[in-house]
Amino acid sequence: MSKLTPVLSANWDEADSFTIAGYKRNGGYTALTKALAMAPDEVIQLVKDSGLRGRGGAGFPTGSKWGFIPQGDNKEHYFVVNADESEPGTCKDTPMMMANPHVLIEGVIIGSYAIRANYAFIYIRGEVTHVVRRVQQAIEDAYAAGLLGKNILGKGFDLELVLHVGAGAYICGEETALLDSLEGFRGQPRLRPPFPAIAGLYAKPTVVNNVESVASVPAIVNKGVAWFTAMGTEKSKGFTLYSLSGHVNNPGQFEAPLGITLRELLEISGGVRSGHKLKFWTPGGSSTPIFTDEHLDVPLDYESVAAAGSMLGTKALQIFDETTCVVRAVLRWTEFYKHESCGKCTPCREGTWWLVQVLKDLEAGRGSEADLDKLLDLCDNIMGRSFCALADGAASPIISSLKYFRQEYLDHLTAGECPFDPMAATLFSSAGVK
């Protein structure tokens, strides 16, 4: 029997799943009615009790975040959705907003009601025009249906929801950079404390939640804490979206309880691409240390992945088979971090630049073994020395690849060039592979 548990994705196979009619036909916006009949603090408590943790990478408990907002402070509160999905490998929020933007909007209204915010924003990345259309249309339809605006469902709660479209900056997925960007500045991270719950948007108490976290709330309100906590592991409750990509026969989105393994997901989906074997993979995007075929049975929950030396991150499972040069893969990720470094902190701005220089030489078979230590030394000098975690993310693939594939770096030096044929890794190389 399949271990999969489609909840968010349950109705994506209906052609009108993204419309308000399609959503309502499947019980959409009934959780909102329930939530508005509860006291706001009860809603916060419910989400706390569910154990829902942030699905954007960090895994911080969503209910606690909501509970940090000071109440009775006579200040405006803001609810902000981080829809700036840009972590390499991560591709879950974007198809969700394309297939069902209304579940996100319902979650936004419930969350805003709980933290007593009357203004909410969805900050979506700018490079997904059709998803922008879908979310914008959904917001307009929700206003027309009396689900947004003044006196929602006649319950006396007011909420304005604005879709804010980014313009191509990975760093704006970092919550304080996102807030600076939303205020109309260059998107650069802020020093914390103060945290956004105290001084967020316009220096007012603000919740910033990932799309999937917010979209998970309506189901929890409707089906209850016991239903949610029956799925997952002791400290990682519930269901989540795992995104499988790369050298597999059938890539895609798989909704399962936290704690499923890559081996199980590969069995369900159809395995690593035929005729090849798994070499390395990321459990949660490029910022999470890579795993190898030793880690096929690591339960994909927050604790187990951390115990195995990586992070669950965004559950973006990027699979690479034996045709892939790990040095090339790491170089390309490092170029990404260099390009996306916002430039605010010197260790990150300068360090990622130097990492690229050293890795470029190594990939071309130039340099010496001492350069591997130089890489680790550079990583040591940028990790934990910047305002945000971008530089830590840049170090992850380098340190982990040197841990598992040091010999492959040395093979480049011995050969004086990259020993891999890049054509063999492409999808064009093998007939019969999708």
Binding to another protein, residues 61-120 (CB under 8 A): 76, 85-91, 93-95, 98-99, 119
Show contacts with another protein in window 344-383 (CB under 8 A).
Answer: none
Instruction: Annotate each residue in 141-170 with x if it binds another protein (CB under 8 A) or - if it does not, as one string.
Output: ---------------------xxxxxxxxx
User: Do 100 and 253 form a contact (C-beta atoms < 8 A)?
Assistant: no
Nearest residue (CB) to another protein, 23 versus 157: 23
With binding defined as CB under 8 A, does residue 432 bind another protein? no
Contacts with another protein in 259-288 (CB under 8 A)?
Answer: 268-269, 286
132 in contact with another protein (CB under 8 A)? yes
Using CB under 8 A, which of the segments 6-14, 144-152, 214-222, 387-395 binds another protein?
A: 6-14
Region of 31-39, 332-340, 365-373, 408-416 interacting with another protein (CB under 8 A): 332-340
Of positions 182, 214, 217, 327, contacts another protein by CB under 8 A: 182
For another protein, the binding residue among 39, 155, 185, 194 (CB under 8 A) is: 185
Residues with Cβ within 8 Å of residue 12, at least 6 apart in sequence: 99, 100
Q: Does 125 bind another protein (CB under 8 A)?
A: yes
129 makes contact with another protein (CB under 8 A): yes
Stretch that binds another protein, among 11-19, 52-60, 64-72, 409-417 (CB under 8 A): 11-19
* Amino acid type, 85: E
Main-chain phi, psi angles of 430, to 5 degrees: -125, 120
Which is nearer to another protein, 48 or 360 (by Cβ)?
360
- Tell me which stretch binds another protein (CB under 8 A): 29-37, 58-66, 334-342, 381-389: 334-342
Q: Which is nearer to another protein, 47 or 82 (CB)?
A: 82
CA pair distance 88, 95, nearest whole angstrom: 15
- Closest to 336 (Cα-Cα) out of 322, 315, 312, 318: 318
Please list the residues that pair with 149 across neighbouring strands.
159
Q: Decide if residue 210 touches another protein (CB under 8 A).
A: no
Q: Does 212 bind another protein (CB under 8 A)?
A: no
Amino acid at position 394, single letter: A
Half-sphere exposure of 340 (CA within 13 A, CB side): 26
Q: Is the Cβ of residue 228 or residue 281 nearer to another protein in the bound state?
A: 281
Quote the least distance from Cβ 142 to another protein, whole Å.
13
HSE at residue 272, side-chain half, CA atoms within 13 A, is 18
The minimum distance between CB 29 and another protein, in angstroms, equals: 18
Stretch that binds another protein, among 5-13, 28-36, 44-52, 222-230 (CB under 8 A): 5-13
Token code pair at residue 192: 């914390």
Other residues' Cβ atoms within 10 Å of the Cβ of residue 36: 18
Binding residues for another protein restricted to 302-331, rule: CB under 8 A: 316, 318, 320, 324, 328-329
Rounded to a whole number of angstroms, the minimum distance from the CB of residue 180 to another protein is 10
DSSP E strand stretches across 324-418: none
DSSP per residue over 19-68, as a string? SHHHHHHTTTTHHHHHHHTS-HHHHHHHHHHHT-B-TTTT--BHHHHHHT
Is 231 a binding residue for another protein by CB under 8 A? The answer is no
Tokens of 126: 């700018």
Q: Contact at 8 Å (CB) between 331 and 360?
A: yes
Assess 340 for contact with another protein (CB under 8 A). yes
Angle separating helix axes 346-363 and 326-340, nearest 10 degrees: 150
By CB under 8 A, name the one of 72, 154, 156, 184 that touches another protein: 184
Judged by CB under 8 A, does residue 332 bind another protein? yes
Q: Name the nearest CA neighbour of 218 among 8, 51, 5.
A: 8
Distance of alpha carbon 216 from alpha carbon 10, whole angstroms: 12
Size of the site for another protein (CB under 8 A): 93
Q: Residue 28 or 67: which CB sits closer to another protein?
A: 28
Stretch that binds another protein, among 4-12, 54-62, 189-197, 375-383 (CB under 8 A): 4-12
Which burial class, exposed, middle or buried, applies to 160 when counting CB atoms under 10 A from its CB (0-12, 13-18, 19+)?
Answer: middle
Window 25-64: residues binding another protein (CB under 8 A): none
Q: What count of other Cβ atoms lies within 10 Å of the Cβ of residue 431?
A: 5
